[in-house]
């Protein structure tokens, strides 16, 4: 294992010294490490010297240190944790410098005012939208609500009335004698419109 090839490094040693010692034990130069990490040798030299301000940001610094530790066979998580402890005093010092700078305080107040103005503007827009909804949209929806509209009663269907009057029923007695006999003979032959007695007489006559 790579970690087993290197002697145990003291936790109290600075991160830059731990990295430099592991690099030298592997016979690597700072240029070799810089070339492998695609960095300038000056960045590797600044890390080994503890001049962390030479790196653009803390995020980049931790990335470089982690890759450096892996390259020389050190535990990258442990090295980054040690680096984080080293950076804590630097963070506090930077914060104190920022607090002591009046220009920074003025800029901070400006940002706070801009955020407050945005919040007030959003609240005003929301209040105006709510007013427009209650003032215009809701009354129109109530006026056109289908539940409130009175439905006109459906017209009742009147029974169909024949346009032509029914023809008056003519009794057999009102017919002329000759036509009446002809009609009775036709009924007798067809069996239509006969009384029960006539139907019985017709049936007997047909049997005979």
pLDDT digits (tens, 9 = 90+) for 64-80: 999 999 999 999 999 99
Residue 194 lies in a domain: yes
Q: What token pair was written down for 78?
A: 């442990």
Read off the DSSP letter of residue 127: H
For residue 151, being part of any structural domain is answered with no
Q: For a pLDDT cut of 90, what percent of the chain falls above it?
A: 26
The answer to whether residue 127 sits within a structural domain is yes
Q: What is the pTM of this model?
A: 0.42
Same domain, 136 and 199: no
Distances from the Cα of 203 to the Cαs of 175, 181, 198, 208, in angstroms? 26, 19, 9, 9
Same domain, 86 and 112: no
Task: Kindly state whether residues 7 and 84 are assigned to the same domain.
Answer: yes
pLDDT, position 118? 86
Secondary structure (3-state) at 41: helix
Same domain, 65 and 84: yes
Degrees to nearest 5, angle at CA 35 with 33 and 37: 70
> CATH no. for residue 88?
1.10.260.40
Low-confidence residues of the chain, pLDDT below 70? 1-12, 94, 96-105, 108, 139-200, 202-203, 205-208
Residues 36 and 68 in one domain: yes
202 and 183 in one domain?
yes
- Identify the domain boundary among 143, 164, 197: 143
Task: Express each pLDDT in 150-165 by its tens digit.
Answer: 555 655 655 555 455 5
What are the DSSP calls for 42-58, one per residue? HHHHHHHTT-GGGSS-H
Are 7 and 82 contained in the same domain? yes
pLDDT at 75: 92
17 and 61 in one domain? yes
Residue 158 lies in a domain: no
Distance of alpha carbon 75 from alpha carbon 70, whole angstroms:
7
Examine the domain organization and report whether 131 and 57 are in the same domain: no
Would you give the distance in Å from CA 173 to the centre of its chain? 92
66 inside domain? yes
Residue 9, pLDDT score: 43
pLDDT of residue 73: 93
Number of domains making up the chain: 3
Range of the domain at 125: 102-143
87 plus 106 within the same structural domain: no
Same domain, 131 and 75: no
Do 11 and 91 fall within a single domain? yes
């Amino acid at each position: 294992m790579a970690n087993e090839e290197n002697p145990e490094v003291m936790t109290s040693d600075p991160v830059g010294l731990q990295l430099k010692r592991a690099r030298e034990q592997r016979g690597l130069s700072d240029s070799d490490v810089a070339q492998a990490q695609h960095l300038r040798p000056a960045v590797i030299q600044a890390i080994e010297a503890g001049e962390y301000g030479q790196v653009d940001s803390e995020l980049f610094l931790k990335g470089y240190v982690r890759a450096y530790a892996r390259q020389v066979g050190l535990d990258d998580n442990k090295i980054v944790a040690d680096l984080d402890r080293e950076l804590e005093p630097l963070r506090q010092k930077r914060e104190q410098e920022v607090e002591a700078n009046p220009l920074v305080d003025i800029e901070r107040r400006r940002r706070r005012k801009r955020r407050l103005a945005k919040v007030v503007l959003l609240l005003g827009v929301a209040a105006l939208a709510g007013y427009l909804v209650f003032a215009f949209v809701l009354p129109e929806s109530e006026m056109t609500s289908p539940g409130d509209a009175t439905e006109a009663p459906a017209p009742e269907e009147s029974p169909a009335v024949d346009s032509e009057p029914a023809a008056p029923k003519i009794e057999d007695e009102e017919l002329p004698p000759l036509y009446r006999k002809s009609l009775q003979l036709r009924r007798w032959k067809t069996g239509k419109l006969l009384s029960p007695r006539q139907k019985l007489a017709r049936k007997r006559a047909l049997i005979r």
